Amino acid sequence: MKKFLLSFKYALAGIVRTIIEERNIKIHLLAVIVVIIMGIIYKISGIEWIICLILFGLVISSELINTAIENTVDLVTKEKKALARKAKDAAAGAVLINAFISVIAAIIIWLPKIIN
């Protein structure tokens, strides 16, 4: 049980450390806060909340994975290497795709509400 609880402690420490040290996750978290506020103001449906929550999780978790990959690559090599760049770019690309899809979903959810 102690190892199980420690795993939560380490995971939470990783999340907090990333929030403190990484600019992009702060931007994503600000977007989450804005979406939550808009969701409350525009009284989005339960399904729309579920979609938002899933997208929050995808964007934030992909940003955490991106940070882990970037740190691992930097740990392995400080030299400019093509494979290191590919790994970092692919991880950043995953975040970009999730963020882009989230923006499209936001437009689909809020545009009709804002126009009316």
63 is an active site residue: yes
Catalytic residue among 22, 63, 70, 79: 63
Q: How far is CA 40 from the centre of its chain?
A: 21
DSSP 3-19: HHHHHHHHHHHHHHHHH
Per-residue b/e over 41-79, b at no fewer than 16 CB within 10 Å? eeebeeebeebbeebbebbbebbbebbebbeebeeeeee
Closest CA to 68 of 91, 42, 93, 45: 91
Residues forming the active site: 63
